[in-house]
Chains A and B, each alone.
Chain A
C-alpha cells in the first residue's frame, strides 16, 4: 500500500488543526455562542418561554423600561452594597489571615487546610446551615449572643436592618478562603533574601510590607479581587436559600431578580435584557481591574 495516498497524508497540517478544533468549536457554538446570540435577540423581544406564542420584536423597550422602574434601581443599589461590602471584607480578612499563615509555626498546614475548607462546600448547603444558625428563635448565633452578652434576639434574615448583612456574612465565610489561598501563593513568591536584606538595614515592619511584600503580591491580589467581584455579581444560591430575597424585596440582588423574572414570572425577554445589563457592568468593572493590573505589571 502506498502510504503517500492515504487519507491522513492528504490532509494538510492546517487541515488537521481545524479537524481537531471542530468538535470543541461545535460544542462551544452549540452550548455558548448560540444561547448568547439567541438570548441577545430575545432581550429585544416580548417573549415568554412558557407560552405558546413566538417572540415579538419590540426594539429597546425591555431595556428602556428597566431603567425607568424604581424597583430595578433598588435592586441594583442592593447588589452594589452587597458586592462592595462582601469583597472589601473578604479582601481585608483574607489578606490578613494569609499574612498570619505566612510564617512558620506548629500546625500551620492543618490550620491552612481548615481555613480553606468553607470554600469546598456547596453554597446552597452553606446557605441552609446559616439559615438554621441565624434563626431568630433556635439559631446558635442568637443563643450564644444571648448567653454571653445578654443580647436580645436578632432577626438576622428577616429584618431590614440585618438581612443584607446576613448575606454578606455568609458570603464572607464561604469566599474569604479564596483570597487567603491566592494571597498565600503571592506571599510565598516573595524572595526571602529581600526581607533578610531589609533586616540588615533595620527596616521597619511597615517598610518591609509597603516596599517588599505589597509590590510582589499586588498583581495576584488584584486578580483575586477581580474574580471575587465577578463572582459576587453572580451571587444567587445563598440568597435563594437564606433570605429568599426578603424581607419585602430588600435582599433581591440582580441575579436573584433575573431568576424570578425568568423562571417564576416567565418574562423571558425582560430577564434576558437585565442579564445583558449585568454582563456589561461585569465586563466594564473587569476591564478597570485588568487595566490597573497591566499598569502594575508594567511598573
Chain B
C-alpha cells in the first residue's frame, strides 16, 4: 500500500514539474500600439510568426490620445504589461534616456541591412542619439503627413473655369502651400456648408497642431534650432518661421468653423462628411476615407503629398518597433523583430495596404497597386523630416501647439507667437541642461 501511495505521489510530482515546464515554454508576446488599422493588420500577420515558432502573439491596443501616457506610465513603474512597443519617433529619446528600451545594437548590426531602408526611418525609429550607432528599434510603419482631396470638385469643369478666371492658373492638385491656400479660399462657401481645408489645430503635441504646422514651417525654409548649440532664438522665430506662422493663422480662415480642436478623428470626419475640399492627416488613416460604410465621399477622394514652398519637406509620422527593457522574453521578442524584417512579412504587410519602410518594396511598381496612398508615400519619403526626439519633446511640442492654437484664434499675432515659442523653448532646454 505504501508503495502504491509513493508511486502515485512520484507520478503526481513528475506530472506537475513536467507540466510546469511545458507551461513555462508557452510564451505569449504582448504588443502594444495605437488602436487603429495597422495594429489589427500586424496582429493578423503575426499568426504566421506563431505558426513558425509556436510563440503566441497578442495585441494590447490603446486609443491614440492615451497611447503615450499609458506606455510611459508603465515604463515609469519599471514593469510593462507589453513586450514589444511601437513608439512614435519622437518618443525615442524620452524612452532611451529613461532606460526603458532594450539596446539591440549588436543584434541590429547583425540582422538589419540599413541600405534597405530610407535614412530617415533608421535615424528616427532606430538610432538614438543621431549618429551614435546605438540602436533601440527597427523600422515598422512608414507613415507621413499627406493630403486628401475631393476629385469631384477638382475635376468639375465649372469649378475649373471659375478657378482659372479668379486665380489665373489651372485648378489642380497644389504644388505649393500658396496654391493650397488659394484653392482653400476658392472652395470656402459657408452658405453651402463647404470649407477649403481641414487641418489639425488641436493644442496637443502629438496628433495635433505641431505635427501639421511643421510641414509648413520647414517648407517655408525655417528651422527649429541650431543643430549644434540647440539655441532656438533666431531659428524658430526667423523671418521664415514667422512667415510660416502667418500662413498658418491665415489659412485658418478657410477651415471649418470651430476646427481649432481638430485632430485625426475630427479632420477625417470633416472629409468623410463632405464638409471640406481638402484635408491633411497622417495617411495611415486613409482606410476610413475610402470606406463606403464610413464616408459619404469615399469614391470621390484621392491623395497628394504635402506641398513645397521654398523647400520641400514632409513631416514624418509612423513608428518603429522596439522591445521593452523590462520584458522577460527578450530572445522571443528579437525573434519577432527578425520575422518582421523578413522580405516575406514586409511584402504581406504592404499587400495589406500598410506603409512599408523597405526601399526595395516601396520602389517596386507592384507596391503602387496595394493602396491609393502608396504613390504619395513614394513621392514623400525622400523629403521626410522629423522634429525633436529629445526627452523634452512633449513639453516643447505642447508649448508650440498651445501658443499657435491661441494665435489662430487671435490671442497672439503670428510673429508674437513665434517669439514666445522660441523663448519658452530656450527656457525648457536651459532647464534640461542643454546650454551648459
Query: Within 8 Å CB of B176, what residues of A?
Result: none
Which residues between 239 and 260 of chain B lie within 8 Å of chain A, taking CB atoms?
256-260
**Stretch from A131-139, A216-224, A289-297 that touches the partner:** A131-139
Give A146 to B269 CA distance when docked, in angstroms. Answer: 21
- Known contacts A136-B256, A137-B258, A159-B409: A245-B72 contact under CB 8 Å: no
**Stretch from A77-85, A115-123, A150-158, A272-280 that touches the partner:** A150-158
Contact B406 A50 (CB under 8 A): no
**Stretch from A27-35, A100-108, A201-209, A246-254 that touches the partner:** A246-254
Query: Within 8 Å CB of B257, what residues of A?
Result: 136-137, 153, 155
Query: Within 8 Å CB of A52, what residues of B?
Result: 97-99
Which residues between 157 and 184 of chain A lie within 8 Å of chain B, taking CB atoms?
157-160
Contact B73 A247 (CB under 8 A): no
Contact A249 B394 (CB under 8 A): no
Query: Within 8 Å CB of A244, what residues of B?
Result: 202-204, 261
**Shortest beta-carbon distance, A177 to chain B, in Å?**
28
Interface presence of B426 (CB below 8 A): no
Contact partner, B98, options A50, A243, A260, A263, Cβ 8 Å = A50
Give A265 to B68 CA distance when docked, in angstroms. Answer: 11
Interface presence of B402 (CB below 8 A): yes
**Shortest beta-carbon distance, A250 to chain B, in Å?**
8
Query: Within 8 Å CB of B340, what residues of A?
Result: none
Interface presence of A264 (CB below 8 A): yes
Closest A residue to B258 using CB positions: A136
Contact A135 B258 (CB under 8 A): yes
Interface presence of A233 (CB below 8 A): no
Interface presence of B75 (CB below 8 A): yes
Contact A243 B261 (CB under 8 A): yes
Query: Within 8 Å CB of A158, what residues of B?
Result: 258-261, 409
Give A52 to B256 CA distance when docked, in angstroms. Answer: 45
**Shortest beta-carbon distance, B179 to chain A, in Å?**
26
**Shortest beta-carbon distance, B371 to chain A, in Å?**
28
**Chain A's interface: helix, strand, loop or mixed, by majority?**
loop
Contact B69 A138 (CB under 8 A): no
Contact B68 A51 (CB under 8 A): no
Closest B residue to A251 using CB positions: B203
Give A265 to B206 CA distance when docked, in angstroms. Answer: 13
> For A50, A51, A137, A248, which residue has the most chain B Cβ atoms within 10 angstroms?
A248
Contact mask for chain B residues 62-79; partner A; CB cutoff 8 A; 1 contact, 0 none: 000000110011011000
Give A263 to B391 CA distance when docked, in angstroms. Answer: 13
Give A264 to B392 CA distance when docked, in angstroms. Answer: 10
Query: Within 8 Å CB of A63, what residues of B?
Result: none
Contact partner, A249, options B193, B203, B273, Cβ 8 Å = B203
Interface presence of A266 (CB below 8 A): yes
Contact A157 B75 (CB under 8 A): no
Contact A263 B203 (CB under 8 A): no
Interface presence of B103 (CB below 8 A): no
Interface presence of A49 (CB below 8 A): yes
Contact mask for chain B residues 394-412; partner A; CB cutoff 8 A; 1 contact, 0 none: 1100100011011001010
Give A18 to B256 CA distance when docked, in angstroms. Answer: 66
Closest A residue to B266 using CB positions: A135
Closest A residue to B275 using CB positions: A137
Interface presence of B47 (CB below 8 A): no
**Shortest beta-carbon distance, A215 to chain B, in Å?**
47
Give A178 to B275 CA distance when docked, in angstroms. Answer: 40
Contact A155 B202 (CB under 8 A): no
Contact partner, B68, options A154, A245, A264, A267, Cβ 8 Å = A264
Closest A residue to B68 using CB positions: A264
Contact A266 B72 (CB under 8 A): yes
Query: Within 8 Å CB of B269, what residues of A?
Result: 138
Query: Within 8 Å CB of B256, what residues of A?
Result: 136-137
Contact partner, B260, options A247, A263, A265, Cβ 8 Å = A247
Interface presence of B94 (CB below 8 A): yes
Query: Within 8 Å CB of A267, what residues of B?
Result: 395
Contact mask for chain B residues 261-286; partner A; CB cutoff 8 A; 1 contact, 0 none: 10000000110010100000000000
Contact A51 B97 (CB under 8 A): yes
**Shortest beta-carbon distance, B245 to chain A, in Å?**
14
Give A248 to B260 CA distance when docked, in angstroms. Answer: 9
**Shortest beta-carbon distance, B75 to chain A, in Å?**
7
Contact A246 B202 (CB under 8 A): yes
Closest A residue to B432 using CB positions: A48
Contact A245 B73 (CB under 8 A): no
A-B contact pairs, 26 of them (CB 8 A): A50-B72, A50-B75, A50-B76, A50-B94, A51-B391, A52-B97, A135-B258, A137-B256, A138-B269, A138-B273, A153-B258, A155-B257, A158-B258, A159-B409, A160-B409, A246-B203, A247-B203, A247-B260, A247-B261, A248-B406, A248-B411, A249-B203, A260-B398, A264-B69, A266-B94, A266-B391
- A residues sitting closer than 8 Å to B (CB atoms) are 49-52, 135-138, 153-160, 243-250, 260, 263-267
Nearest first, the 4 closest Cβ-Cβ pairs linking A and B are A136-B258, A248-B406, A155-B258, A158-B260
- B residues sitting closer than 8 Å to A (CB atoms) are 68-69, 72-73, 75-76, 94, 97-99, 193, 202-205, 256-261, 269-270, 273, 275, 391-392, 394-395, 398, 402-403, 405-406, 409, 411
Known contacts A136-B259, A246-B203, then 12 further A-B pairs from the complex at CB < 8 Å, ordered by chain A residue: A51-B98, A52-B97, A52-B99, A155-B258, A157-B258, A158-B258, A160-B409, A247-B260, A264-B69, A264-B398, A265-B392, A266-B72
